[in-house]
Amino acid sequence: MSSRLVAAALLAALGLAGCAHEQAANPAYAWAYLNEPGEGPKLAYGRPSSDEVLLMLACPARGGPVEVSASGLEGATIGLASRDRTSHLAAKTVDGGGTGSLLLASATTRDPALGNFRRTGDLAIVNAGQRHSIAAKADERRRVKAFFEACGV
């Protein structure tokens, strides 16, 4: 099974729902870092101790591409912004298994928005002409750095 399908299955299993702007504005959401043996590192933004995930970054192979998965977005791109750096990632829509559709895209660790996110912890989702902040809080920035270090950058 391709790593994109694995990411899609993982997100579908997490029961994604809701609109991006509603989730991004939710102060109860946080960044979580996961690095299970055999799965590769993942960084997810969602509600802790629940199945709600808005954005997930995954590195299935060290030094390889970063897989970006998002729920609740419109269109065929995943827009990410970090301060003055913006990336519009061409995305493929997949069925989320009864929880709506998911967007899947691929980026490199040298992507402008992801590179700046690694350095600053600042990230926003850009969708339908609006910017929705999902910046890492001070205590979450170590999780962001750990993810990128585990990805091999």
At 61 the pLDDT is 87
Q: Are 134 and 141 in contact (CB under 8 A)?
A: no
Q: How would you list the strands of the sheet with 85-90, edge to edge?
A: 85-90, 77-82, 124-127, 130-133
How far is Cα 104 from Cα 145, in angstroms, rounded to an integer?
22
How many domains does the structure of the chain reveal?
Answer: 1
Q: Give pLDDT, residue 12.
A: 39
Q: What pLDDT does residue 73 have?
A: 87
Over the chain (153 residues), what is each successive 10-residue block's mean pLDDT? 41 42 67 92 92 90 91 90 95 77 89 95 93 94 95 80
Bridge-partner residues for 46, per DSSP? Answer: 30, 53
Q: Specify the CATH number for the domain of residue 45.
A: 2.60.40
CB atoms within 10 A of CB 149: 11
Angstrom distance (rounded) from CA 119 to CA 99: 33
CB distance 58 to 14 below 8 Å: no
pLDDT score, position 10: 42
By three-state DSSP, how is residue 99 classified? coil
C-alpha to C-alpha distance for 121 and 1, rounded to whole angstroms: 32
pLDDT of residue 132: 92
Structural domain range at position 74? 3-151
Alpha-carbon 11 to chain mean position: 10
pTM comes to 0.82
Structure confidence by residue, pLDDT tens digits, 4-44:
434 433 443 343 334 454 445 578 899 999 998 888 999 99
152: left (phi over 0), alpha (psi -120 to 50) or beta: left
